[in-house]
Amino acid sequence: MPEADLHQLMAGTLDAPRWDDVASRCLTCGNCTMVCPTCFCTTTEDVTDLTGDHAERWRLWDSCFDLDFSYLHAGTVRASPRSRYRQWLTHKLGTWYDQFGSSGCVGCGRCIVWCPVAIDITEEAAALHDWANRPADDGGAPA
């Protein structure tokens, strides 16, 4: 991980071009969320028998990489892979501090091991750090 305040880094790089780069590789398969020891997101499934007299609710693991995860009557808020990868990484390394007062990453490396396209969150964080600290005259805009 880069030697930086990751909380600040994540909050300040939401529009970084690096997200497009990682989104071009990410399959949004959700493997990282399945193996991450701190991922806690769940969904609920309702079942009923044919008579309708008996109903059950089952809590199931969910993943922020699923399109339905952010579904809001007739539309998915995070429709692009870019936004879903960004949600996963910024939550883990950034907004976790806002919500729980610590990092959401324990450093176990499982998400790196299980990623089918070898995305490494430490590399992504470092790339964001590099972009955030790029020379002032290299704004990425055409001259």
Partner 1 sequence: MSTVTPPLPYRVAAARPETADAVSLELLPVAAALPRFQPGQFAMVYVFGVGEVPISVSAIRGSGDALVHTVRAVGAVSGALCRLRPGDVVGLRPGDVVGLRGPYGTGWDLDSAAGADVLVIAGGIGLAPLRPVVHHVLERPGEHGRLGVLVGARAAEDLLYRDELRRWRASARVEVTVDRPTPGWQGAVGVVTGLLDRVELREENTCALLCGPEVMIRHTAQALTARGLPAHRIQVSLERNMKCGTGHCGHCQLGPLLLCLDGPVVDCAGSQSLLAVREL
Partner 2 sequence: MTGLPALLGGLPETHRDQLLAIARDRSFPGGERLFDEGGAADRFWLIRSGEVALDLYVPGRPPPVVETVGPGQLLGWSWLFPPYRWHLGAQALAPVDAWEFPADQVRAPCTADPELGYRLTLRCAEVIAERLQATRIRLLDLYAPRTAAS
Q: Which of 98, 109, 116, 134 binds partner 1 (CB under 8 A)?
A: 98
Q: Are 35 and 104 in contact (CB under 8 A)?
A: no
Q: With binding defined as CB under 8 A, does residue 102 bind partner 1?
A: no
Closest CB 44 distance from partner 2, rounded Å: 21
Q: Which is nearer to partner 2, 59 or 73 (CB)?
A: 73
**Binding-site string for partner 1 from residue 2 to residue 41, where x marks contact by CB under 8 A and - marks none:** ---------x--xx------------------------xx
Q: With binding defined as CB under 8 A, does residue 106 bind partner 1?
A: no
DSSP H or E run through 21: helix 18-25
Question: Residue 95 binds which entry of partner 1, partner 2, none, with Cβ cut-offs from 5 to 8 Å by kind?
Answer: partner 1
Q: Determine the Cα–Cα distance for residues 90 and 6; give it in Å rounded to an integer.
A: 9
Residues in the chain: 143
Where would I find the beta strands (DSSP E) of the chain?
42-48, 55-61, 71-72, 75-76
Closest CB 74 distance from partner 2, rounded Å: 4
Q: Determine the Cα–Cα distance for residues 11 and 97; give it in Å rounded to an integer.
A: 11
Interhelix angle 121-132/81-90, rounded to 10 degrees, is 90
Residues near partner 1, by CB under 8 A: 11, 14-15, 40-44, 46-48, 52, 54-55, 57, 59, 62, 64, 69-74, 77-80, 82-83, 87, 90-91, 94-95, 98-99
